[in-house]
Structure 1
Amino acid sequence: MRHSKLLAGLVLAGLAAGAVPTFAQSNVTLYGIVDDALTYSSNQNGKSNTYLRNGNLAGSRWGLRGTEDLGGGTKALFQLENGFDVNNGAFSSSGLMFNRQAFVGLKNDSAGTLTIGRQYSPYYLMVGTIGPVAYLTGATGAHPGDIDGLDTTIRINNSVTYTSPVLWGVTASLQYGFGGQPGAMGKGNTFSGALRYDGGPLSLAAGYLRLNNVGGGTTWNGASTGVPSTSAVNQGYMTADSLQHIALAGIYTLGNVTLGASYSNVQYKPGAASLFHDSAIFNTAGVHASWIVAPQWRLAAAYSYTAASKANGITDAATYHQVSLAQVYSLSKRTSLYALEAWQHANGKSLSANGVSIINAGPVVGDSQNSTPSATSSQFVGMLGIRVDF
């Protein structure tokens, strides 16, 4: 009897031990950037200004990213990222805890990656990351007002993204953002696709992004899955029914020097509720270069030219010339001092925010001056700052 009880106990103990799950290897990383700069603008709505500006070399942020190894070359992954203003402690976007990114998904070495949530578009991730913003930052290096969305100003809500594994140096990615409008699936939705080749010193990319507006009004409807930034460059066209981006970019690295070029075509297409009546088209071409002078020193420069179409009663269409410079000195792997300078000159006419009145084109350097355009034909911006990564 005693032996039978002992045997039963051993069996139960063994079953209990076998019932304990084997946990897959996982990791979670806390990371972030704190960036601030003393900034001078020659003209903001008619007056010069000297002030502190947050997030210039890179947007200030903190985030969590994690993976769990599920075996067989498959991992579960997630990322949550919040942007903030170091000068007042406020969220970068009111009411949004994780305004920069919030997604979850699966990655397989052979099948690719599938993610869902609030994400950057393939258009930005494959084209924008080898454009001028990658070397000069969006604050002063983005094309005027970030008209072509090659900086991080556009994020896609309610989106599903598939990215292929790398095959012969080529990566492909597709994204769909669900508009969520009952009975009108195409309202407010987003579609993006991109291809990229990386081979040795050469990288080439092409991308497409289409944002559909939920409905017309005085501005782009915030319930849409993708919302473009507004500036003096595009303010007259923000009641568009849809917005289309097409862009090409390439870089070539020669030792410590990287040379790049980009082209974009942007179309604001009106609908029945739009305040303008003709499609507004912006074409931008640019070149940029980056030079690692020494392990601690990096210099960069860029030039871009943006031209708007003659439409909506405008015969002298707006043009924008922009020159951007950057000097970055690394005190350590995590801390950098930097200086940024940019000058922009605008010619011709554009539409006011009401989509009807024709006004002089207003310069807006990069995307740091979107809400503060110059009242004259030119604008200069200079910054001295510090960036700390953790």
Structure 2
Amino acid sequence: MRRLNAAALSGVAFALASMPGVSEAQSSVTLYGIIDAGITYVSNTGGSHVIKFDDGVSYGNRWGIKGSEDLGGGLSAVFVLESGFHLSNGQLGFGGSLFGRQAYVGLKNDWGTLSFGNQLDMTEEMVYSYNISGWASGYAIHQGDFDRFNGDRLPNAVKFLSNEFHGFMFGGMYSFGNIAGNFHEQSAWSVGAHYANGPFTVGTAYTQLNDPHGIYAFDPYAMIGVHTFLGQPTVSVDPATGAVTSLFSENPFPVDKQGTFGIGSSYAIGDVTLMGNFTFTTIKGLGQSSHMRVAEGGADWQVTPAFSAIGGYQYTNFEGHHWNQVSAGLHYLLSKRTDVYISGDYLKASSGVDAVIGYSFTPSSTTTQADVRIGMRHSF
């Protein structure tokens, strides 16, 4: 293809600007972001307690640009570029991707939005908000994030998300694996729906990853503290010191499929909102299959317009092991954009499991782990 020179490009731009409707199109671009930082105490990480600076906990640190252009006839072009980062050292999150949080372009009309790129899955769109423990403490995601309740993305995705019709919305997406000769490998798909009516809401979604990889690859010991996974050992133990080393910290555990179904609901009674959810996740690999079940419930009490108290309880069952976790948080708004908070979690796992809260810390040397955090968050 021959290249257009600068003069030709200028002519094309002038011609487009002169076309009816194009020069009159309304467009907007918004810069936004969230910054979260604080100090965390953890009771046991590999046998010792730690007091550390941590960031992106209450909400993930981010900055982004989003925009839209009115194309006429009820149709708009939309885009989002959103970057995650660590405030502690300025480094990018999401494996070093510049726009690892979101990066998409699409078209929107009265029915919904069709978009293309790195995008939030339907588990995030429809049921993520019912993770009440996570609202209390940002560390309190479900065990290992096996059920993708941490607000996860799918790359290379084509996605449709409907507008809301009488309280109902729905969506679906497909993520291409982009592997030559194998359309299935590293692909993923996700579907979901949500309904809201007055004080009542309910959402459900199913998301499946084939050959989870990259930031969603499996290191079972670091994720949930188990010593075996799908019938295979996950750690080596030094007989002299008792030190535990993960066998899959460098090369991920070979998982063929991760499929998760989730449903959640909320009901507001005055200043108190009750929330609950249930997830069922299937993990397949090496000819084996296991299931994780998570049940969670809790409440958000808006004590005053500026002050809220949030608490939640999670129960998890996987491969004969059990986890019980309680979480609580107090949040105070200094303004519409700035708040301070204190939060805490306590996790008790069954025998043979080294407790680890929310895939957030080094696993404990015992079946228990606890944390307390003081932090602040600012949005812009």
Question: Shorter-chain-normalised TM-score: which range?
Answer: 0.7 to 0.9
Structure 1 position 90, deviation (Å)? 0.8
Equivalent residue for 1:323, pick from 323, 326, 345: 326
Equivalent residue for 1:212, pick from 202, 210, 213: 210
Query: Match of 1:76, SS?
Result: strand
Structure 1 position 18, deviation (Å)? 6.0
Alignment match, 1:12: none
TM-score, normalisation: structure 2: 0.85
Aligned pair count reads 340
CA contact (8 A) 1:140 1:324 kept: no
Pairwise CA RMSD? 2.1
Equivalent residue for 1:362, pick from 345, 348, 354: 354
CA contact (8 A) 1:259 1:288 kept: yes
- 1:298 and 2:308 correspond: yes
Structure 1 position 145, deviation (Å)? 2.5
- 1:379 and 2:369 correspond: yes
In the TM superposition, what are the counterparts of 1:1-390 in structure 2 within 5 Å? 21-109=22-110, 111-132=111-132, 135-137=135-137, 139-152=138-151, 154-213=152-211, 220-222=212-214, 227=217, 231-233=222-224, 236=229, 238-270=253-285, 274=286, 277-309=287-319, 317-348=320-351, 360-369=352-361, 372-390=362-380
Query: Match of 1:102, SS?
Result: strand
- Closer, same or farther in 2 for the Cα pair 1:16/1:342, shift >3 Å? closer
Query: Match of 1:135, SS?
Result: helix
Measure, in 1, the Cα distance between the counterparts of 2:99 and 2:354. 32
Measure, in 2, the Cα distance between the counterparts of 1:289 and 1:183. 49
Decide which structure has the larger Cα Rg and report it: 1
Query: Match of 2:303, SS?
Result: strand
- Closer, same or farther in 2 for the Cα pair 1:74/1:42, shift >3 Å? same
Query: Match of 1:140, SS?
Result: coil
CA contact (8 A) 2:273 2:299 kept: yes
Report percent identity of matched pairs. 33
Structure 1 position 17, deviation (Å)? 10
Measure, in 1, the Cα distance between the counterparts of 2:330 and 2:348. 22
Q: Give the counterpart letter for 1:256 in structure 2.
A: D
Query: Match of 1:141, SS?
Result: coil
- Closer, same or farther in 2 for the Cα pair 1:156/1:228, shift >3 Å? farther
CA contact (8 A) 1:345 1:363 kept: yes
Measure, in 2, the Cα distance between the counterparts of 1:85 and 1:118. 20
Q: Give CA deviations for 1:220-249 in whole Å, capped at 9, x if unaligned.
A: 532x9x656863427735421111101110
Query: Match of 1:206, SS?
Result: strand
Structure 1 position 292, deviation (Å)? 0.5
TM-score, normalisation: structure 1: 0.83
Structure 1 position 92, deviation (Å)? 1.3
Query: Match of 1:365, SS?
Result: coil
Measure, in 2, the Cα distance between the counterparts of 1:250 and 1:234. 29
Structure 2: segments with no counterpart, 5+ residues: 1-14, 231-252
Q: Give the counterpart letter for 2:288 in structure 1.
A: D
Alignment match, 2:238: none
CA contact (8 A) 2:218 2:254 kept: no
CA contact (8 A) 2:225 2:356 kept: no
